[in-house]
Amino acid sequence: MNYSIAFRTIVTKEILRFIRIWPQTLLPPAITTALYFLIFGKLIGDRIGTISGASYMDYIVPGIILMSVISHSYANVVSSFYSTKFQRNIEELLVAPIPNWVILGGYVSGGIIRGLLVGVVVALISLLFTDITVNNIAITLSIAALTATVFSLAGFINAILAESFDDISIIPNFVLTPLSYLGGVFYSVNMLPDFWQIISKGNPILYMINAFRYGLIGVTDVDIQMTFIITGGFILTLTLFSLYLLHKGIGIKN
């Protein structure tokens, strides 16, 4: 059976949803990014100088772009799918003759598209402050897409397990935001004492940000191949767990 129509319908719904409320989904990251670049890049960056041979402004641009991709790909899926549960629209999906992987793929694709679109917006804003020549376009695009996939899947799982709107804000506030800021967005992990370097290397976002930074400006603190292994492992694990939750009906059939 051809499930492409069902898949396109879910993806189109997701895209129209965040495009329709663009002042809430696309405008805030543009404003926040401009403030990051102005305060950290210009005012503070001029006093810091360079990190790993790159100006401080150029150094933080990749991290800020990917941090936006992470937060918005996650937010799109967790808010959309939980709203579907809360409004009881989930019943229409459950009775529809489509497999779970189509449902998962549709919502995750919507999160990926929003995350990458926000990333493009942030990248365009960065051009107002600096001029970056992409070092490796293949690594840049693949890491951005894979990272958006990881956190779209994570958002889907959070939405399934959440029992209230408060539950969908716990992970972003207490997990994603700290891990993002501690993932080397504003500093090199090599600047930390040895003990904290070891701790930091247990943060998967550190690998994603550094690989993306390598793709843009050719600077990294981690092994690029390891980043692809870690990211691929997360995608596989989260996908299987998401499909398991859908199959068992955990959080959606009660």
- Spans of all domains in the chain: 4-248
For β-strands 54-55 and 50-51, DSSP reports them as: antiparallel
Q: Give, in degrees to the nearest 5, the angle at Cα 72 between 68 and 77.
A: 160
DSSP class of 51: E
**Per-residue pLDDT for 213 more than 90?**
yes
For residue 104, give both structure tokens: 């998962």
pLDDT confidence of 254, banded at 50, 70, 90? low
Distance CA 120, CA 185 (A): 17
**Per-residue pLDDT for 19 more than 80?**
yes
In which element (H, E) is residue 55 found? strand 54-55
pLDDT digits (tens, 9 = 90+) for 88-108: 777 788 788 889 999 999 999
For residue 133, give both structure tokens: 């020549």
Q: Give, in degrees to the nearest 5, the angle at Cα 75 between 220 and 86.
A: 155
DSSP class of 95: H
Question: Which ranges of the chain does DSSP label H, i.e. alpha helix?
Answer: 4-20, 22-25, 27-36, 45-48, 56-86, 90-95, 100-126, 137-161, 167-171, 177-181, 194-200, 204-217, 224-248
10 close to 103: Cβ distance less than 8 angstroms = yes
pLDDT digits (tens, 9 = 90+) for 129-186: 888 888 999 999 999 999 999 999 999 999 999 888 888 888 888 888 888 888 888 8
Spatial neighbors of 187 by CB under 8 A, at least 6 apart, are 51
Residue 99 identity (one-letter amino acid):
P
Phi/psi class of residue 250: alpha, beta or left (left: φ > 0; alpha: ψ in -120 to 50)? beta
Distance CA 123, CA 96 (A): 39
Kindly report the pTM of this predicted structure.
0.92
Chain centroid, CA 241 distance in Å = 18
Distance CA 228, CA 241 (A): 20
